[in-house]
């Protein structure tokens, strides 16, 4: 059997990883500012994370949600404290798409409505409703096509108001990333998020904050949406939550009440996943990683803004987009193959930085030096 070829991939086989570094099969070392797509939050093979998982593995790895799993409650409490959402409720699942799928479903169960507002360049995942709310026709199969999702321009308050005025009583939920990831690192305006809150309150719709990529402390706040100073009704998270162990969460405001069997999962919230997620939160808290992410991110953004030939630098904390022009389209590849630095990308010509939250300034400097030399190289 061969593999189903769904992605173009880099010609690198990683066999070892530690902190912000990975090594390939030939022993070549790479600096990792991509974190396997924003997943590595506290660093590869972090000792506290490894210890927590190993200890749990010796006890019990999995049992279904038909029994009490105290680790889930421990995780919920730690999440409540670190995010400031103590009074919210936690539903655990396995991936970002699944978290959004459940959030959209739950909103619809809650208010009995069908329509979802999503935004231009949004990415919410590959499952049926999540992909219908994703603004890329290539990902949406005919079976996922629906009239229930309305796309509006991102950060356009007037368009949102007009849409609610016209369809207000049919809108079940509004789903929005605090910082669009796949869309190219576009930060949601604070006033835009406030407007979503205001209109959702007015029309009894559910505000869903997709924090799958921008959450878990990456922006400098636990949820990047919280820069706006208003709460969402539901936050979804995944990626950095497990530092590589698949785990996701739906964080639900107290006024949304659970009803048996509306949501469910076999693997979600298993013992190992909880152990991994708890280790991540413990490390973020004990090492003050949200503040470190902000400080290192501010430093990188400031340095980037001084480099000629960069069209725009966007982002917050350690979620940074570097907009280049077409003539620099090769730079991401050169960073990897010439300078041994992994970065992410978004089309067209955006280099995306999604490193571990404990990336050091010295490590950031290695990347900055490589980028400076690449951008200067084209000039001569
Ligand atoms: C904002 C956002 N939501 C949802 C998802 C889907 O997450 P997953 O790939 O874990 O299903 C992603 C993945 O990139 C994402 O960036």
Q: In this structure, which residue's CA is closest to atom 7 in ligand 1?
A: 96
Q: What is the largest CA-CA distance in the chain?
A: 66
**Interval between CA 100 and ligand 1 midpoint (Å):** 9
Q: Which one, of 207, 350, 371, lies nearest residue 300 by Cα?
A: 371
Q: Distance between CA atoms of 61 and 5, rounded to whole angstroms?
A: 31
* Cβ contact 293:318 at 8 Å: yes
Q: Across 228-305, where does the E strand assignment appear?
A: 234-237, 248-252
Q: Distance between CA atoms of 253 and 255, rounded to whole angstroms?
A: 6
Instruction: Supply the pLDDT for residue 5.
Output: 96
Which residue carries 């404290």 as its tokens? 81
Stretches in the chain below the pLDDT threshold 70: 378-380
Q: In this structure, which residue's CA is closest to atom 3 in ligand 1?
A: 124
Q: In this structure, which residue's CA is closest to atom 8 in ligand 1?
A: 96
**Interval between CA 122 and ligand 1 midpoint (Å):** 10
Q: In this structure, which residue's CA is closest to atom 9 in ligand 1?
A: 96
**Interval between CA 232 and ligand 1 midpoint (Å):** 18
Q: In this structure, which residue's CA is closest to atom 16 in ligand 1?
A: 213
Which of 94, 95, 97 to mutate to test ligand 1, by most ligand atoms within 8 A of the CB atom? 97
Instruction: Supply the pLDDT for residue 347.
Output: 86
Which of 154, 224, 239, 245 to mutate to test ligand 1, by most ligand atoms within 8 A of the CB atom? 239
Instruction: Supply the pLDDT for residue 228.
Output: 98
* Cβ contact 193:178 at 8 Å: yes
Between the CA of residue 61 and those of 92, 268, 275, what are the distances in Å? 16, 12, 10
Instruction: Supply the pLDDT for residue 379.
Output: 54
Residues 6+ apart with CB under 8 A from 162: none
- Please give all residues whose beta carbon lies within 6 A of any atom in ligand 1, as ranges: 95-97, 100, 123-125, 177, 181-182, 210, 212-213, 238
Instruction: Supply the pLDDT for residue 340.
Output: 98
Q: Distance between CA atoms of 52 and 65, rounded to whole angstroms?
A: 21
**Interval between CA 34 and ligand 1 midpoint (Å):** 15
**Interval between CA 80 and ligand 1 midpoint (Å):** 22
Instruction: Supply the pLDDT for residue 378.
Output: 61
Atom of ligand 1 nearest to the CA of 100: 4
């Amino acid at each position: 059997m061969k593999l189903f070829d769904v992605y173009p991939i880099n010609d690198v086989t990683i066999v070892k990883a530690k902190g912000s570094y990975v090594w390939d099969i030939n022993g070549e070392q790479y600096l990792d500012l991509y974190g396997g797509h924003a997943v590595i939050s506290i660093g590869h093979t972090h000792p506290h994370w490894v210890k927590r998982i190993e200890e749990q593995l010796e006890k019990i790895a999995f049992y279904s949600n038909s029994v009490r799993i105290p680790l889930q409650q421990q995780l919920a409490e730690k999440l409540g404290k670190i995010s400031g959402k103590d009074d919210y409720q936690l539903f655990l699942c396995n991936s970002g798409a699944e978290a959004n799928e459940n959030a959209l479903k739950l909103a619809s169960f809650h208010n009995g409505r069908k329509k979802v507002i999503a935004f231009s360049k949004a990415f919410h995942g590959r499952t049926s409703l999540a992909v219908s709310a994703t603004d890329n026709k290539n990902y949406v199969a005919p079976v996922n096509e629906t009239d229930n999702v309305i796309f509006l321009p991102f950060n356009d308050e007037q368009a949102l108001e007009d849409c609610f005025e016209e369809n207000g009583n049919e809108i079940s939920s509004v789903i929005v990333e605090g910082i669009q990831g796949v869309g190219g690192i576009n930060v949601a305006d604070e006033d835009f998020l406030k407007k979503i809150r205001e209109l959702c309150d007015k029309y009894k719709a559910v505000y869903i904050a997709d924090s799958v990529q921008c959450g878990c402390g990456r922006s400098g706040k636990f949820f990047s949406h919280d820069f706006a100073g208003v709460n969402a009704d539901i936050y979804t998270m995944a990626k950095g939550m497990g530092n590589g162990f698949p785990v996701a969460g739906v964080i639900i405001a107290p006024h949304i009440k659970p009803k048996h069997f509306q949501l469910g999962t076999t693997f979600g919230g298993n013992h190992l996943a909880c152990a991994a997620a708890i280790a991540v939160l413990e490390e973020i808290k004990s090492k003050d990683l949200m503040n470190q992410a902000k400080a290192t991110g501010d430093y990188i953004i400031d340095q980037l803004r001084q480099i000629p030939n960069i069209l725009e630098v966007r982002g917050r904390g350690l979620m940074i987009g570097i907009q280049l022009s077409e003539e620099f389209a090769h730079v991401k590849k050169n960073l990897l193959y010439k300078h041994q630095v992994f970065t992410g990308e978004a089309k067209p010509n955006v280099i995306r930085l999604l490193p571990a939250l404990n990336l050091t300034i010295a490590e950031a400097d290695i990347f900055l030096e490589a980028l400076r030399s690449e951008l200067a190289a084209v000039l001569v």
